[in-house]
Amino acid sequence: MSRRFTPKVVTANHLMEGDAIWLCEDDSWTRDMSRAEILEDVAHADLRLLHAQAQPHIAVGAYLADAEPTPKGPQPTHFREAFRTRGPSNYDHGKQAEADL
């Protein structure tokens, strides 16, 4: 028996900057997971992943990550994805440098 499909987002790393990015419904990429396209159908998710993988000049290592749909947009369901939303672990770079800590 196959498992029930759970909601996903397409994520990857930005080729030049290395930080986590997510695919939006309009085919753009965002560094804010809450703006990502939530995928609730396995066939559509597979097509979106193929679309992302066809952009090696922008994104590398694209994969489908579990996500929870919320009124504020998709949110991570696994600690790995939650960690990726916060940016690099070095406070002098990326999202954490811009955050008001």
> For the whole model, what pTM was predicted?
0.83
Q: Write down the pLDDT at residue 97.
A: 60
- The residues spanned by each domain of the chain are 8-89
* Beta bridge mates, 75: 68
Q: Write down the pLDDT at residue 101.
A: 43
Please check the confidence at residue 1 and state whether its pLDDT lies above 80: no
Residue 18 or residue 63, greater confidence: 63
Please check the confidence at residue 75 and state whether its pLDDT lies above 80: yes
Q: Are 13 and 62 in contact (CB under 8 A)?
A: no
pLDDT band of 35, cuts 50, 70, 90: very high
> What mean pLDDT is predicted for residues 2-24?
92
